[in-house]
Homo-oligomer: A and B are copies of this chain.
């Protein structure tokens, strides 16, 4: 097939670098039951940096009691504050209190989150879609009023885009309306999440085609879960449609605690392997990403989710 697609993928390779955001330390770990020590997290993040990954979401500034796994956020951020990689770290921020802490800690990149699903917002963050959008607007204003050197890059995560465990189908128009609003508020960096891993490539393609009619596709990253084994195929079709930005977690760790059986982000090393086999260059080392995950996984005490990590694990013995 398809002169057209090939040209597109060549374009991706040559003109626009692939952007991979590693979300294992936050999105991944948040959903793992076994408590991981600060030392082990630092080791994990150090290994990820060594693999060549640039952007890493390392924690979230939530109330300590809310997510025990991330209760060491301030210590973790303090540890890395003077690290050469600091400017590439992202922190998930739920509200203005968190954002104020982020400013104190000199964080450079912050992510906010919402969803077009009314019920998911209610159960996940105990607010309506509108309330959650207001909260984001407040945070954007707060950030915009900071002195230039303190202003942070912002990204918004939109989750449950392809379906919600409580609401079922979530009409794409609802997501598009949120994006429209967020663009007006100055957000230019979005992550679209299939949070329960329900989408197949056809849905992803349909969504992205519609998205392209309204918005500039370079502003969007895709975030897939591999719940039903479709993760890498969904990454592939996104790449074909023109997406160049993805977020994923080393080893495929994580999931969504609010959605039954939705465990497993798509694995960063498999995403990289896919791109490598496309001939794309300047990528992180998938084997080193896998090794970071394998090392961490010894602490998590459950089978590796990533097939590529399983492969590397077997073949290193």
Complex CA distance for A199 and B240, rounded to whole angstroms: 18
Partner of A199, one of B241, B264, B277, B303: B277
Partner of A1, one of B205, B270, B279: B205
In the complex, what's the smallest C-beta–C-beta distance from A97 to chain B, in angstroms? 35
User: Which B residue's beta carbon lies closest to that of A200?
Assistant: B277
The answer to whether B314 touches A273 (Cβ under 8 A) is no
Complex CA distance for A152 and B208, rounded to whole angstroms: 47
User: Which B residue's beta carbon lies closest to that of A302?
Assistant: B303
Copy tally for this chain in the complex stands at: 2
A230 at interface by CB-CB < 8 Å = yes
Tell me which residues across on chain B come within 8 A of A315, comparing CB atoms.
Answer: 260-261
Give the contacts of A156-209 with B (CB-CB under 8 A). Answer: 199-203, 205, 209
The answer to whether B4 touches A274 (Cβ under 8 A) is no
Tell me which residues across on chain B come within 8 A of A310, comparing CB atoms.
Answer: 261
A139 at interface by CB-CB < 8 Å = no
Tell me which residues across on chain B come within 8 A of A260, comparing CB atoms.
Answer: 314-315
A102 at interface by CB-CB < 8 Å = no
Give the contacts of A298-317 with B (CB-CB under 8 A). Answer: 303, 305-308, 310-311, 314-315
Complex CA distance for A303 and B205, rounded to whole angstroms: 32
The answer to whether B201 touches A241 (Cβ under 8 A) is no
Give the contacts of A267-292 with B (CB-CB under 8 A). Answer: 267, 270, 273-274, 276-279
The answer to whether B278 touches A226 (Cβ under 8 A) is no
User: Which B residue's beta carbon lies closest to that of A201?
Assistant: B236
A229 at interface by CB-CB < 8 Å = yes
Partner of A229, one of B242, B303, B307: B307
Complex CA distance for A66 and B75, rounded to whole angstroms: 59
A76 at interface by CB-CB < 8 Å = no
The answer to whether B200 touches A278 (Cβ under 8 A) is yes
Complex CA distance for A64 and B274, rounded to whole angstroms: 40
Complex CA distance for A2 and B279, rounded to whole angstroms: 22
Tell me which residues across on chain B come within 8 A of A306, comparing CB atoms.
Answer: 229
Residues of A participating in the B interface, judged by any CB pair closer than 8 Å = 1-2, 4-5, 8, 199-203, 205, 209, 226-230, 232-233, 235-237, 240-242, 260-261, 263-264, 267, 270, 273-274, 276-279, 303, 305-308, 310-311, 314-315
Q: A1-B241, A226-B307, A233-B233 are in contact. List 20 more A-B contacts (CB 8 A).
A: A1-B205, A5-B5, A199-B277, A200-B273, A200-B276, A201-B236, A202-B279, A203-B277, A227-B307, A228-B270, A228-B307, A228-B308, A229-B232, A230-B270, A230-B274, A232-B233, A260-B315, A261-B310, A261-B311, A303-B303
CB pairs A–B below 8 angstroms (7 shown): A1-B4, A1-B5, A1-B205, A202-B278, A228-B311, A229-B273, A261-B314
